[in-house]
Each structure stands twice: as structure tokens, then as C-alpha cells.
Amino acid sequence: MRRLQAVLYRNRWLFSRRIVQLLIIAAFAVELAAGGYFAQGNLSSSVWFGIGLTDPYIWLQSLFAGAPLGKAALIGVVIVAVFYLLLGGRIYCSWVCPINLVTDLSYWLRQKLNIKSNYTLSKNLRVAILVLSLLLSLLSGTLAWETINPITLFQRELMWGSVAGATVLASIFLFDIFVTRRGWCSHICPVGAFYSELGRVGRLRVKATQAGACHGCAECIKVCPEPHVLAPVVSKKATYVTHGDCTRCGACLDQCSTGALAMNLSFKKTSAFKGIPVVSSD
Amino acid sequence: MADKTFVAAEIAEPERRKVFRKIFRQLGAATVITMFGKAVLDSRPARAASVLRPPGALPEPEFNAACIRCGLCVEACPYDILHLASWSDPAPTGTPYFVGRRDPCRMCPDIPCARACPTGALSPLLTDIKKADMGVAVLVGHETCLNYKGLTCSICVRVCPIIGEAISLKSIKNERGVLQIPTVDSSKCTGCGTCEKHCVLSEAAIRVLPRELGLGVEGAQSVGRW
Ligand code: SF4
Ligand code: SF4
Ligand code: SF4
Ligand code: SF4
Ligand code: SF4
């Protein structure tokens, strides 16, 4: 019993995330007894209990492709954008995106199999792809990234059992295992890049609880999908993870054995606009 | 031993390795970008649709830009006729379409599909389903259609939801006698696909096509202007 509790505790963020992710998939996929689904549509645009939500990045592509703006979609875009803007954009990646299940599995296998190969890709690659996708939308008059976006592909095709969807997922899976650590999500996916930019000022942040609790073991950095965001905190140059790349996955909190880290929602106007605060040395 | 010298050579020339690495990386990036770009430019929307769109769909290029591939129309359709195109389908990935011969549009008076569309890709301005323009029926099989053979099949006419307006029998006379020919009024036909669905032949003699494909487009081909 104790053991179980300990396991649960050490994976509290991981398990919460999995539950949320699976619930979201189920909301779209599991038919209700009364007919219909909890959520209609897919992650491009969906309707939850009568409220429409639309992905701002996909909407932006549509805008670049030259579309008139739909009223319903516009409201949905604002709701979603404000949510991620306030909390932190890449919450989408850790808590909503179904591809995260695949890439996390890849990462886990990579650890288990002790695969070291790591083809370095620039973090700017995904930003380049983001810009490119908007540019191509403009040039071609179609939603460029949506021709291959594995997120909506997953929902459209895999749920309905298609081979095309499975192929794409399999290639991402293998790429992340054998080629680059956290290859897809941290280097290629423009959706993640978009949400990272959107969530620069997000207020749900990882915080160093009190000076002194952190031993500087850097275990959190090892498990973080975006290790660079934690560096300032571990090296005690900052109390908050302020980088937009942080996915709020909580892996660092699960990993930290001293309770030096916490996830914090603070709307106090402390740091984000004044640069990184420095922990006073006592 | 050979291995050792090889390793030594590698270490001795870190610069060369770096350069190679850089070249490979750039080549890789260039390949990916080219493939992606080409795929997108290839999927550039045609002037005309090659598939039947749900009622109220904007003209193809605008539709392709406006539709965000959400599938809300698909789920709203009570008869489940719509599908989001996958890679192997003739429409841009993720866009909704239907195949008349498989499952025609039942022309719901309240047009739930268009009402569900959040972007206006299916126009909210369409309120009368009889004004929908998903395509147009064309009797293509002048040698196979049973009515052309002098029989009275006329199934396509009888199943039409706007019978008598969109399609009706017109008699023509030829050496076989008087024939009752199913004749489409292209200004009334909504392109729902019901006639094609019910044509008794194993491949339909009457086809519902996107308007530009079914009727052609006026104007001269460039060859004609030399
Ligand atoms: S980076 Fe892209 S694929 Fe990865 S979790 Fe975020 S949105 Fe999903
Ligand atoms: S800093 Fe923590 S919450 Fe943020 S991405 Fe890294 S491990 Fe996840
Ligand atoms: S009009 Fe009715 S049957 Fe036709 S596509 Fe729309 S919802 Fe489906
Ligand atoms: S509801 Fe509208 S935007 Fe969504 S797939 Fe259908 S046509 Fe496209
Ligand atoms: S149903 Fe087919 S065979 Fe019969 S009249 Fe119509 S087109 Fe001809």
C-alpha cells in the first residue's frame, strides 16, 4: 500500500496528465449512450457543451490562405488563445495533444533501451517550419501544415482506422526513439512552436520553492523535454521557469526528491515583464 | 589496428567532420522543406472541385482556404454521408466530401451540416436547401441508359427529391419511336446525388458532377485562340 502510494506520488503529474489526455481523446471518440459525443469535431475546431473552440494556429493558416473569418470560429479562437496566453501556451502539448502520448512513449523506450544516438537539430527549426507553413499557406491558398499535421490526422484517420495515419505516427515514433531525443515535439512540430510563442507570458509556472531546498542534482533537467528552460532555476539564477518552451508537464516536479520545485499560478506582477528575477543570496 | 588509425584520423580532422555534418544537416533540411513545399503546392486547390462538397460550400478555392478540416459538418449530418478526405482521396486532405453513388445528400430542410460549420466554409447564407449547388446531374450514358433503349425505367426521375423540377422526362423521336429521356434542368438540380445512387445500371448512366465538370466552363481554350 505504501509502495503504491509512493509510486502514485512520484508520478502524480504524469498520471494526471495521462488522465486528462485520455479523457480528451475519449470525449471525441466514445459515443454516448444517448448518441453523439461529448465533444464534436476535432482539435482544429470542436464544440463542447455548445461552446465552440478553435485552434488559433490552424485559424491563422486559414487566414493566410485568404479565407473570410467565420464568426463562430473567431469566438472559439479568442477563447483558446486567451486561455493559453494566460496560463502558458505549451500546456497544450503536455495536457491536450494526442501526439504527446506517442512521443512520450518513444522517450520512455529510448531510456529503457538506453539509446544514446542524438542527432542535434536546432530549436529554431520548428520556428522556421512555423514561418514556412504560414508562408506556404499564403502562396498556395490552402492550409499548408494541415496537409500533414499528425495531430488532426490522428483524430481524423487513426480513430477511424486508416493506414495513412498509422504510417505518420509510426515515423514520428521511430524518429523520436532512434534519431533525436524529443525530436518531434522539441524540434519540428510548428504547433508546439506556435504555442510556445503564444504562451511567453503565461502565468502557470514552475517555481523554486525556497532557496536552499534544491541540491543542484539537476535530475529535473535530465527528465525535462525542454531542458534549457530549467537551467536558470537550477543554477539559482531565477525562481521561476519563464521560458515559453516549458510544457508544464510536471516531469521535473515528479522527479525532484527534495520538493524544491512547485507549479504555481501567480498573477502577481513580479517577474515576467521585468526579466528574470535573481534569488537573493542569503 | 586499422580501426585505431581510422579513429585517429577522425580525431585529427575534427574540422572536416564538422563541415560534413553541417552539409548533411543542411541537405536534410533542404530535402524536408522541398518535399513539404512541393506537397503543398501540388495540393493547391484546383479551380474546380473534383468531388462533391456539402451544401453551401463556397467556390472551391475559397472553400479550401476557409475550411479548417474540423469535421463538425460530418458529425452534424444525420445520414452520415460526409467524410473528411484522407491522403488517398481526390480532395485536399481533411476536407469534407461525399460520393453520390455511395450515399447521396438527403437535402435536409434545416441543413444541419452548414449550420454546424464554424468558419463559413459552408455558407450560413444558404437557407433554402433547394438553392444548394453541390453539383449537377448529367446523363452520360446515351447508349446504356434504359430509357434511351426505348424502355421505361425512369428510376432516376422518380427518386429525385425535387421531382419534376430538377429532372423530368422529355420525349424525343428517333428511328426507334418515341423515347422518354430523363432531362436535367441544371438551374434547378442541387447535385444531391440521389439519381446517381438509384440508377439501375451497375455503373450509373447518370452522374452527379461538380458543376464545372458536369457542364463545362464557357470561354475559349488557349489553343483555340492561336
Ligand atoms: S510539440 Fe506538437 S506534437 Fe508535440 S505535444 Fe506539442 S503540439 Fe503535440
Ligand atoms: S520545466 Fe518542468 S514542467 Fe516545464 S517542460 Fe520541463 S519538466 Fe516539464
Ligand atoms: S443536407 Fe442533410 S444529408 Fe445533406 S449533407 Fe447536409 S446534413 Fe447531410
Ligand atoms: S464544418 Fe466547415 S470548416 Fe469544418 S470541416 Fe466542415 S466545411 Fe470544413
Ligand atoms: S435510372 Fe439510369 S437507366 Fe434508368 S432512366 Fe435513369 S439514367 Fe437511365
Q: Which residue has the higher pLDDT, A277 or A218?
A: A218
Q: Which of A65-79, A125-139, B63-77, B118-132 has the lowest mean pLDDT?
A: A65-79
Q: Which of A114-118, A131-135, A222-226, B73-77 has the lowest mean pLDDT?
A: A114-118
Q: Where are the domains of chain A?
A: 2-198, 204-265
Distance from CA of A171 to the nearest CA of B (A): 14
Q: Which CATH number fits domain A204-265: 3.40.50.670, 3.40.50.2300, 3.40.50.300, 3.30.70.20?
A: 3.30.70.20
The residue whose CA has the least distance to atom 4 of ligand 1 is A185
Per-residue pLDDT of B12-33, as tens digits, reads 567 877 787 778 777 877 777 7
The answer to whether B69 contacts A143, with C-beta atoms less than 8 Å apart, is: yes
pLDDT band at A22 (very low <50, low <70, confident <90, very high): very high
Q: For position A160, what pLDDT does the model report?
A: 62
Identify from A71, A80, A156, A169 which residue to disrupt to test chain B contact, counting B C-beta atoms within 10 A and taking the largest count.
A156
- This complex has an ipTM of 0.83
Q: Region A234-262: what's the mean pLDDT?
A: 86
Q: Which residue has the higher pLDDT, B226 or A251?
A: A251
Backbone angles phi, psi at A262, to 5 degrees: -145, 160
C-alpha cell at B208: 452527379
Helices A190-198 + A71-87 axis angle, to 10: 70
| Distance between Cα B107 and ligand 3 center (Å) | 5
Q: Residue A205: pLDDT above 60?
A: yes
Query: Ligand 4 atom closest to Cα of B66?
Result: 3
Distance from CA of B62 to the nearest CA of A (A): 6
pLDDT band at B4 (very low <50, low <70, confident <90, very high): very low
C-alpha cell at B217: 466552363
Per-residue pLDDT of A43-102, as tens digits, reads 888 888 888 899 999 999 999 988 877 777 888 899 999 999 988 889 999 999 999 999
The DSSP code for A116 is: -
In this structure, the strands spanning B96-97 and B83-84 are antiparallel
Per-residue pLDDT of B189-202, as tens digits, reads 999 999 999 999 99
* CA A197/CA A174 separation, integer angstroms: 27
Query: Ligand 4 atom closest to Cα of B76?
Result: 1
Across chain B, mean pLDDT equals 85
Query: Ligand 4 atom closest to Cα of B72?
Result: 1
Residues in A closer than 8 angstroms to B67, CB to CB, are: 62
Contact A141, A66 (CB under 8 A): yes
Q: For position B16, what pLDDT does the model report?
A: 77
pTM, full prediction? 0.82
Q: Residue B7: pLDDT above 60?
A: no
Q: Residue A195: pLDDT above 90?
A: yes
Looking at chain A, the whole-number percentage of residues with pLDDT higher than 90 is 23
Q: Where are the domains of chain B?
A: 10-41, 49-131, 135-216
Looking at chain A, the whole-number percentage of residues with pLDDT higher than 70 is 92
Per-residue pLDDT of A265-276, as tens digits, reads 877 655 443 444
* CA B101/CA B159 separation, integer angstroms: 13
Could you write out the DSSP letters of every residue in chain B? Answer: -HHHHHHHHHHH-HHHHHHHHHHHHHHHHHHHHHHHHHHHHHTPPPSS-SSBPPTTBPPHHHHHHH-----HHHHH-TT---EE--TTSSS-TT-EEB-TTTS-----TT-HHHHH-SSSSB-TT---GGG--S-EEEE--TTT-GGGGT----HHHHH-TTBTTTEEEEEEEETTEEEEEEEE-TTT-----HHHHH-SSSS-SEEEE-HHHHH---S--GGGG-
Under CATH, what is the fold of the domain B49-131? Answer: Alpha-Beta Plaits (3.30.70)
Q: For position A157, what pLDDT does the model report?
A: 74
The answer to whether A136 contacts B64, with C-beta atoms less than 8 Å apart, is: no
Across chain A, mean pLDDT equals 84
Q: Which of A10-14, A111-115, A197-201, B32-36 has the lowest mean pLDDT?
A: B32-36
Q: Residue B127: pLDDT above 50?
A: yes
B135-216 architecture in CATH? Answer: 2-Layer Sandwich (3.30)
Q: Residue B146: pLDDT above 90?
A: yes
Residues in A closer than 8 angstroms to B62, CB to CB, are: 66-68
Check if B49-131 and B135-216 are the same fold. Answer: yes
Does any ligand 4 atom lie closer than 6 A to the CB of residue B50?
Answer: no
